A and B are shown apart, each in its own frame.
Chain A
Amino acid sequence: MKLRAIIVDDEELARQILREYLDKAGEVEIVAECANGFEAVKAVGEQRPDLLFLDIQMPKLDGFEVLELIDPPVAVIFVTAYDQYALKAFDAAAVDYLLKPFSTERLGKALERARALLSDPQPRALQASDLAAAARPPGQTLERVVVKDGTKVHIIPIAKLDYVEAQDDYIALHSEKKQYLKQQTISSIEAQLDPARFARVHRSYIVNLERIARIEPYTKDSRVAVLQDGTQLAVSRSGYTRLKELLGENI
């Protein structure tokens, strides 16, 4: 069986050499070539490839963000020039990683691994977004959140994110009166957000501290956070303690 593959790289020459090697290897059919992350997300949705060759540094969406937006199962091989985090990416989510420039032999090995993984009747349960989170450099918080809505990709800068709400297996990201659903756990996004700007105020809510207008008592031992646009979010007791630490006593 020929593997169906997509090549994603913003440099023409980098795509060219991969194409050349794969043609020579003869066991892979290239179903699409993409020059940026948007194209990649779209092509993966349309073509449902077995295999994705993914560059990390690209315009619009980087490789990690692409990974967040595609649905498994697809075997990912990172292709990157130099990235100390590639190794981490590989451990977390990728089948393999190729460091540019690479040899045909090295590519052959990567293809073997991909085949082995794809023929495994019980593929590793991969939750792409959580894996992408794991692949990110440690100690670095998100600057923007990417969400796929059908074929459209939304990019929400962190400054415009009002609050995050847990909804079963999804999270709802609220930004500028709109709501975007994403398949990710609230704990995993909490870990990615800057703890100085966002606080988990409740089992189900993470709030942007800049949006909080005031905190009001609700019942005897619970409170609500009222946002600038009037939205009310439940605040748990531990959430309130956390807010007091972050905002000081006079909230």
Chain B
Amino acid sequence: MHPIFRNTTMLGAYLGLWTILAAAMAALIRIPADLTWSQALSVAVPLCLFYAFVCLTPWYLCRAFPLGSARVGRLLINQVGAAVLACALWIGVARLLAFATDLGPQLNPAIPQLVVLGLLLYLTSVALHYALLAVEASREAALQTRDAELRALKSQINPHFLFNCLNSISALTSTDPVRAREMCVLLSDFLRKTLGLGERESITWREELELARTYLEVEQVRFGARLQVEMRVDDACAECQVPPLVLQPLIENAIKHGIATMVDGGIVRLEGHVENGNLAVRVENSFDPEAPSPRRHGLGLRNVRSRLQTRFGDAAHLNLAAEDSRFSAEMIFPCHKINP
């Protein structure tokens, strides 16, 4: 079905536009056919409303013959053929209306104008449909890009982390079976949560934070005393809607490019609060300024930035700062809540 029928406002606006066109047309045929305003309108308005629906048919033809396809000749023949057909219908209905309103042959002098108008209107509609299809295609492409980004982000949950965890579990099984089991549970928790998140458009901040917490607990087993975690997160944030896995890359970076580069480890500090309707999140970590800059520089961060941008536009910010041996990432975006 034509997309215009999915949206009543759009359909209303479209028919409104045609009513204005009808008025213009009445003005055009009134003079050569020597009609009164009411006579002209009684033909023009039903005719235009009828033609409004005829002019939606290019939707199918335009999709069957997309621009840029190799079959230019067939495209032209089909579209022009359809235009002639539509125009014939338009004239036929106009004459029927003329007889129905007892104008009889009085309309005949205006027929040439009507033919030109009918063709022009139909061809304009064809052009507009091609534009519409292009817009839809680009929107579709944007959606797919976002999906791809999310998939990429998810697959980034990174093999290094996973295999190192399994190695830690393997080491613990003989020396500390209880902790080995705990670690299995934590890791499973983490994996289960990340698997479920991908399908959702947004999740609550509480869920995102829970994921980060589980992740940090797992890493705590790996890094032991080298990793210290400080969390200061305001309860007011809990119900804010956030894109899934928006915090995760920041936390992973803090470990990978921060704690893991320090011989004696350091602190990961996570802060979150609501301020003027915005959720402000700050992840801070120590790092070794002499360490070589990360490979595939900032893929995770770039991803976070573009996802915030897609969702919130200019209302979202991601600020990064490195000072001495502290790195901080701060993201600020509107806190939308879903009312229960």
Residue ranges of A at the interface with B (Cβ–Cβ < 8 Å) = 10-14, 16-17, 20, 35-36, 38, 57, 59-60, 81-82, 99-101, 137, 140, 143-144, 155, 157
Interfacial chain B residues near A82, Cβ < 8 Å? 159-160, 162-163
A-B contact pairs, 24 of them (CB 8 A): A10-B263, A11-B167, A11-B168, A13-B171, A13-B172, A13-B222, A14-B168, A16-B171, A16-B175, A35-B263, A36-B263, A38-B263, A59-B261, A59-B262, A60-B291, A81-B163, A82-B162, A99-B163, A100-B164, A100-B167, A101-B167, A143-B292, A155-B290, A157-B290
CB atoms of B263 and A143 under 8 A apart = no
Q: Using CB atoms, name the residue of chain A closest to B259.
A: A59
CB atoms of A17 and B160 under 8 A apart = no
Interface size class of B (residues with CB under 8 A): 20 to 34
A101 and B292 in contact, given A13-B222, A82-B159 (Cβ under 8 angstroms)? no
Query: Chain A's nearest CB lies how many Å from the CB of B23?
Result: 66
A81 and B164 in contact, given A11-B223, A14-B171, A59-B262 (Cβ under 8 angstroms)? yes
CB atoms of A140 and B164 under 8 A apart = no
Interfacial chain B residues near A81, Cβ < 8 Å? 159-160, 163-164, 167
CA distance A60 to B295 in the complex (A): 15
Query: Chain B's nearest CB lies how many Å from the CB of A59?
Result: 5
A13 and B168 in contact, given A59-B262, A59-B263, A140-B295 (Cβ under 8 angstroms)? yes
The answer to the question of B224 belonging to the interface, with a C-beta cut-off of 8 Å to chain A, is yes
Interfacial chain A residues near B163, Cβ < 8 Å? 81-82, 99-101
The answer to the question of B113 belonging to the interface, with a C-beta cut-off of 8 Å to chain A, is no
Q: Using CB atoms, name the residue of chain B closest to A81.
A: B163
A59 and B295 in contact, given A14-B164, A17-B171, A81-B160 (Cβ under 8 angstroms)? no
CA distance A155 to B175 in the complex (A): 38
Interfacial chain B residues near A57, Cβ < 8 Å? 160, 260
Interfacial chain B residues near A101, Cβ < 8 Å? 163, 166-167, 169-170
CB atoms of A59 and B172 under 8 A apart = no
A10 and B171 in contact, given A59-B288, A100-B163 (Cβ under 8 angstroms)? no
CA distance A60 to B222 in the complex (A): 18
Residue ranges of B at the interface with A (Cβ–Cβ < 8 Å) = 159-160, 162-164, 166-172, 174-175, 221-224, 260-263, 288, 290-293, 295
CB atoms of A60 and B288 under 8 A apart = yes
CB atoms of B166 and A100 under 8 A apart = yes
Interfacial chain B residues near A100, Cβ < 8 Å? 163-164, 166-167, 170
Sample of 10 more A-B contacts, CB < 8 Å, known A36-B263, A81-B163: A13-B167, A17-B167, A20-B174, A35-B263, A57-B160, A59-B260, A60-B288, A101-B169, A137-B295, A144-B290
CB atoms of B292 and A144 under 8 A apart = yes
Q: Using CB atoms, name the residue of chain A closest to B256.
A: A57
CA distance A99 to B175 in the complex (A): 21
Interface centre among B168, B224, B260, by most chain A C-beta atoms within 10 angstroms, is: B168
Q: Using CB atoms, name the residue of chain A closest to B159.
A: A82
Q: Using CB atoms, name the residue of chain A closest to B288.
A: A59
Q: Using CB atoms, name the residue of chain A closest to B295.
A: A140
Interfacial chain B residues near A20, Cβ < 8 Å? 171, 174-175
Query: Chain B's nearest CB lies how many Å from the CB of A38?
Result: 8
Interfacial chain B residues near A12, Cβ < 8 Å? 224
Q: Using CB atoms, name the residue of chain A closest to B226.
A: A10
Interfacial chain B residues near A36, Cβ < 8 Å? 263
Q: Using CB atoms, name the residue of chain B closest to A65.
A: B292
Interfacial chain A residues near B291, Cβ < 8 Å? 59-60
Interfacial chain B residues near A10, Cβ < 8 Å? 260, 263
The 8 closest A-B pairs by CB, nearest first: A17-B171, A100-B167, A81-B163, A101-B170, A143-B292, A13-B171, A82-B159, A101-B167
Query: Chain A's nearest CB lies how many Å from the CB of B67?
Result: 39
Interfacial chain A residues near B172, Cβ < 8 Å? 13
Query: Chain A's nearest CB lies how many Å from the CB of B170?
Result: 4
Interfacial chain B residues near A137, Cβ < 8 Å? 295
Interfacial chain A residues near B221, Cβ < 8 Å? 13
CA distance A217 to B168 in the complex (A): 63
Query: Chain A's nearest CB lies how many Å from the CB of B222?
Result: 6
Query: Chain A's nearest CB lies how many Å from the CB of B325?
Result: 12
Interfacial chain A residues near B263, Cβ < 8 Å? 10, 35-36, 38, 59-60
